[in-house]
């Protein structure tokens, strides 16, 4: 069942989420920024579009709730589903008919690049904070064009509690984490501690 979101490079390309730009802050003089982009969602390589396997013509969709693997057969890293697993399953978020989009509670479908709308259905407080820049990460200009990190750049939607992240691809370089990130199941490794005064004598 099509849910492997896992981490790895490759994505939708640089999918700009311009749709929300009008609602975003902010400029030096209160002018709203026109140029707001979001990082691409961190798909595994080759996993998208999902419909290359989940084709209704090949296998008719099955609405019955059941235990499913996480694409372990397709060479995906081991994954867990720990997101209110007792009450929820795949097609609460993924669209049953078209696997290349997500499905809101209203029945509307949205592309993966706007998954924050889906997350915000339950986590409205976080969505509100994210929109104004209080929650989450942004890079770019404090008074101009900036890039937002999506929820899924830091939280694995299938096991969303934050553990750690790693950088995808070039663009960041060591030290400056500008490149898109993907959530990992490992905690971050800290950089070296500062030297004690006695270790740093002239």
Give the nearer residue to another protein in terms of CB position, either 52 or 141. Answer: 141
**120 binds another protein per the rule CB under 8 A:** no
Per rule CB under 8 A, is residue 193 in the interface with another protein? yes
The answer to whether 202 contacts another protein (rule: CB under 8 A) is yes
**Contact yes or no for 102/94 (Cβ under 8 A):** yes
Q: Least distance to another protein from the beta carbon of 192, Å?
A: 8
Query: How many residues interact with another protein (rule CB under 8 A)?
Result: 46
Q: In this structure, what DSSP letter does residue 136 have?
A: S
User: Residue 101, SS3?
Assistant: coil
Question: 80 or 188, CB closer to another protein?
Answer: 188
First-to-last C-alpha distance (Å) of the chain? 62
DSSP 29-84: TSPPPS-EEEPPP-PPTT--SGGGT--TTTS----S------SGGGTPPP----SS
Burial (CB count within 10 angstroms: exposed 0-12, middle 13-18, buried 19+), residue 182: buried
- 195 lines the binding site for another protein (CB under 8 A): yes
Interface of this chain with another protein, residues 147 to 186, rule: CB under 8 A:
149, 154, 162, 164-165, 175-178, 181, 186
123 binds another protein (CB under 8 A): no
Positions that interact with another protein (CB under 8 A): 25-30, 32, 129, 132-144, 146, 149, 154, 162, 164-165, 175-178, 181, 186-196, 200-202
């Amino acid at each position: 069942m099509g849910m492997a979101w896992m981490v790895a490079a490759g994505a939708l390309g640089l999918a700009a989420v311009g749709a929300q730009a009008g609602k975003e802050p902010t400029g030096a003089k209160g002018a709203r920024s026109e140029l707001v982009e979001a990082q691409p969602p961190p798909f595994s390589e080759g996993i998208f579009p999902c419909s290359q396997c989940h084709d209704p013509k090949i296998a008719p969709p099955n609405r019955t709730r059941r235990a499913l693997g996480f694409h372990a057969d397709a060479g995906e890293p081991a994954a867990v589903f720990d997101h209110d697993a007792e009450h929820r399953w795949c097609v609460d978020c993924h669209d049953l008919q078209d696997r290349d989009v997500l499905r809101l509670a209203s029945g509307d479908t949205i592309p993966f690049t706007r998954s924050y709308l889906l997350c915000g259905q339950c986590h409205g407080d976080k969505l509100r904070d994210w929109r104004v820049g209080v929650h989450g990460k942004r890079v770019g200009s404090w008074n101009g064009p900036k890039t937002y990190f999506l929820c899924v750049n830091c939280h694995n939607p299938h096991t969303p509690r934050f553990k750690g992240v790693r950088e995808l691809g070039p663009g960041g370089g060591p030290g400056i984490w500008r490149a898109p990130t993907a959530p990992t199941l490992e905690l971050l490794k800290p950089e070296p501690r500062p030297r004690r005064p006695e270790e740093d004598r002239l």
